Amino acid sequence: MKLIYVLAFIPFLGVLGGIFFANRVEPYVLGLPFILFWIVAWVVLTSVLMTIIYMLDPANREESR
């Protein structure tokens, strides 16, 4: 399987699978209850992963004009 698909799958694991472990208030991180911090962290990580995917994906190079 291509690396970019594996990368795209990670946030699904983090958000959906992780919620069972992250469903707690303590410890507070950056002033946020842990569950909220966990979700925010995955939103940010998704953006990072999508940037990497965008750079790795040959489709974006072929089209560059």
Partner 1 sequence: MNAALPVLFVFLALAIYLGIRSRRGKDMDLEQWTVGARSFGTVFVFLLLAGEIYTTFTFLGGSGWAYGKGGPAFYILSYGCLAYIISYWLLPVIWRYAKENRLVSQSDFFVSKYRSPYLGVLVALVGVVAMVPYLVLQLKGLGLIVSTASYGSIPEWVAVVIGVAALVIYVTISGIHGSAWTAVAKDITVLSVVVFLGIYLPLHYYGGFENMFQQIEQAKPGFLTLPKEIYSPWWFVSTVLLTALGFYMWPHTFGSTYTAENERVFRRNAIFLPLYQLVLLFVFFVGFAAVLKVPGLTGDKVDLSLLKVSTQSFDPWLVGIIGGTGLLTAMVPGSMLLIASSTLLVKNVYRVFAPATSEAQVGRLVKIMVPVVALVAMYFTLSGSSTIVTLLLLGYSFVTQLFPSLIFSLLPNNFVNKYGAAAGILAGVVTVAYLTLTGTTIGTLLPSLPQGAKDLNVGIIAMFVNVALLLAVSLITRGLTAEDEEGVRGEALES
| 1, 12, 56, 58: which one binds partner 1 (CB under 8 A) | 12
Q: Are 7 and 51 in contact (CB under 8 A)?
A: no
Output phi, psi for 29, to 5 deg: -125, 130
Nearest distance in Å: CB 36, partner 1? 6
41 binds partner 1 (CB under 8 A): no
Q: Which residues contact 19 (CB under 8 A, 6 or more apart)?
A: 35, 38
Q: Footprint of partner 1 on this chain (CB under 8 A)? A: 8, 11-12, 15-16, 19-20, 23-25, 28, 30-33, 35-36, 39-40, 42-44, 46-47, 50-51, 53-54, 57, 59-60, 63
